[in-house]
Structure 1
């Protein structure tokens, strides 16, 4: 009766009774599920980076084991192809709320006059810095009115959690409401939790370009 209700075959059920799933198979299944979630977040990670991410999440798995499970789950690092000359980029994941289109179809931004009060407009970008121990990535969130850094995060790899952590820190510090968070298309702008809280509105530039007054060499100068 239970098999009929669950739409399972009785033959499969009795086979499972004769040969139940081993503890190792259970453990591998949990590791694969964690790997799938990490891969969905950043599909460019290979098995070595997946092993690092698992370790950060408190899951012990050697690189050899991760490699074996990645083959079983068919999780491969994706490599982005270069766009041919003249090809146009695809649509941004969010609208450009601050862009102004001129008569020639060019999109420009004026961040100096975009905000008249604090927490109206935030700008975010990721910069890389070389240290004696290797490369570090810094994601900073800058208030457009006060010209101060209101949140940041640092990591040894550029991933979506880097941007999400910086925004969470800024939200915890400023507790904004309806703030526009603007980034270029190159930033890892994945702020699902913040969008669910409806605290900020995301804005992404149509093309990846240097944000004047933000990603310039003096971007971190004031308020940092």
Structure 2
């Protein structure tokens, strides 16, 4: 039996893990568990970080600014919630009278009864009469299911649509049809986050050698560490662009390497690659797929691939579908997180993206390609089998 490879961590990973314990408000043990590392290791990293920060740095003014920003965000969210009922009135109008009455009842502590009755075209007397009658079995069932839907939707960071929520309900033992879940979500205005498309960052106008498309869109992989796919995207902050380079293991769609920086350089891509190599320790023969960008075609980057026995593969010119898995990941990241944020600094964006990838995406988010398992769960189930 082979001796398990000891995991290694980059300085960037350690720094972001320690920052997560400070700024998320969660206990160190919980953060360590979410990141898949030992408590003692994370405590040691914290101690090392404290020593490094002890050189006269003060965070009091920064925390005051952050508290003020948090307060303003909270007030903004409150104002948005106050407009929710009237914004969704049209959806309730398409449903039956009992559904409108139930909507009024669920919001009776936030809005005036008569205002809601006028918006939903029902009489206040009819509403009070309905509320005095015993609740039907179907109404009780709908209320119970909606409660479970809201919990799942909230835990998914409002990223799940009806298919993923329906799958989660089935795994909880609920007997319900997908169409009913979709209808309840539509009536209640429970939606997955959406976002517009964005432009690419590939810089393929160079004279560096490019590799053949060895992968050839064979995205279904039989085992871990057989194929990695990488790409770079960007995130806007008030300080300027923040660039993100990642490597995905196509077996589980897990992000195995990542790096963020303010410049789109070869070094950024190499940092992501070295993180993946340290975490996964692959054997020679792994296929490394990317676009034809100068960061991946660079001599120094290709030298690292050769040194570790990795086989380079590159997409055809101008063909984003050849690297569709990473493009899909970037779409998910921007749809579910980035486009719903307004980052004041690159540092703030880095922290938010690090938590999304390492805590939520890799370990919690249900992936439709993986049978609605998270990447880490999918790899664990395969290892047991």
Report the TM-score when normalising by structure 2.
0.30
The equivalent residue for 2:241 is: 135
Is it true that 1:163 corresponds to 2:163 in the alignment?
no
Structure 1 regions of 5+ residues with no counterpart? 1-81, 84-88, 100-108
- Ranges in structure 2 where 5+ consecutive residues have no aligned partner: 1-203, 334-356, 364-385
Asked whether the 8 Å contact 2:250–2:325 carries over to 1, the reply is no
Q: 1:201 offset after TM fit, Å?
A: 1.3
Local SS of the residue matching 2:316: coil
Instruction: Out of 124-133 and 89-98, give the one that drifted further.
Output: 89-98
Displacement after TM superposition at 1:200 (Å): 1.4
Q: Give deviations 1:66-123, integer Å, cap 9, x for gaps.
A: xxxxxxxxxxxxxxxx98xxxxx97951121112xxxxxxxxx131x2x110010000
**Residue 97 of structure 1 aligns to a residue in which SS?**
coil
Corresponding residue for residue 21 of structure 1: none
Alpha-carbon spacing, 1:187–1:110, altered in 2? closer, same or farther (3 Å): farther
For residue 97 of structure 1, the aligned residue among 205, 214, 230 is 214
Look at both structures and tell me which one has the larger radius of gyration over its CA atoms: 2
Cα distance, 1:169 vs. partner?
Answer: 0.8
Report if the CA contact (8 A) 2:208-2:294 is conserved.
Answer: no
How far the C-alpha of 1:206 sits from its partner, in A, is 2.0
- In structure 2, what is the Cα distance between the partners aligned to 1:187 and 1:116? 30
- Aligned in 2, Cα 1:92/1:123: closer, same or farther, shift over 3 Å? same
Using the alignment, how far apart are the partners of 2:316 and 2:246 within structure 1?
20
Pairing 1:123–2:229 present: yes
1:207 aligns with 2:289: no
Higher strand share: 1
Contact 2:246 2:259 survives alignment (8 Å): yes
1:14-62 Cα deviation digits (max 9, x unpaired): xxxxxxxxxxxxxxxxxxxxxxxxxxxxxxxxxxxxxxxxxxxxxxxxx
Q: Is the 8 A contact 2:290 2:315 kept in 1?
A: yes
For 1:15-54, list aligned pairs within 5 A: none
How far 1:165 moved relative to its partner? 1.2
2:218 is matched with which residue?
A: 110
Q: Say whether residues 1:223 and 2:340 are aligned partners.
A: no
- Partner in structure 1 of residue 185 of structure 2: none
Larger helix percent: 2
State the aligned residue count: 127
The answer to whether the 8 Å contact 2:212/2:313 transfers is yes
Cα distance change, pair 94–148 in 1 and its aligned pair in 2 (3 A): same
* Counterparts in 2 of 1:206 and 1:94: CA distance versus 1, 3 Å: same
- Compared CA separation, residues 137 and 91, structure 1 to 2 (3 A): closer
Could you tell me how far 1:187 is from its partner in structure 2?
A: 5.8
Runs of 4+ in structure 1 off by over 6 angstroms are none
Over aligned residue pairs, what C-alpha RMSD do you find? Answer: 2.7
Deviations 1:165-221 (Å, cap 9, x if unpaired)? 110110011011121110011361032442342331111112133222221202668
- Where do 1:167-206 residues align within 5 Å? 167-177=273-283, 178-186=285-293, 188-189=295-296, 190=298, 191-206=301-316
